[in-house]
Amino acid sequence: MAKSITQYNVFVASTSDVKEERDSLDNIINEINLSTAKILDVKLELVS
């Protein structure tokens, strides 16, 4: 049976001095998608 999933686009804007933190966002979004988001039937998509 098909399952409905809600996708949220997460837009991130930042200055160049936080590059390291911004690069880690991809891993964080993936971890959320595999854990909490999967339980809630949502998907986060990082838009940078």
Is 12 domain-assigned? Answer: yes
Q: Give 13-38 pLDDT, tens digit per residue.
A: 999 899 899 989 999 999 999 999 88
Is residue 17, in this structure, part of any structural domain at all?
yes
Residue 1 lies in a domain: no
Q: Which residue reads 């971890």 in tokens?
A: 31
C-alpha to C-alpha distance for 21 and 42, rounded to whole angstroms: 24
Task: Please say whether the dihedral angle defined by the alpha carbons of residues 26, 46, 20 and 40, taken in this order, is positive or negative.
Answer: negative
What domain range includes position 41?
Answer: 6-47
Q: From its phi and psi, is residue 27 left (phi > 0), alpha (psi between -120 and 50) or beta?
A: alpha
- How sure is the predictor about 1, in pLDDT bands with cuts at 50, 70 and 90? confident
Identify which of 13, 6, 1 has the alpha carbon closest to the alpha carbon of residue 33: 6
pLDDT confidence of residue 28:
95
**Domain membership flag for residue 29:** yes
- Domain total of the chain: 1
| Any domain includes 20 | yes
pTM of the model: 0.78
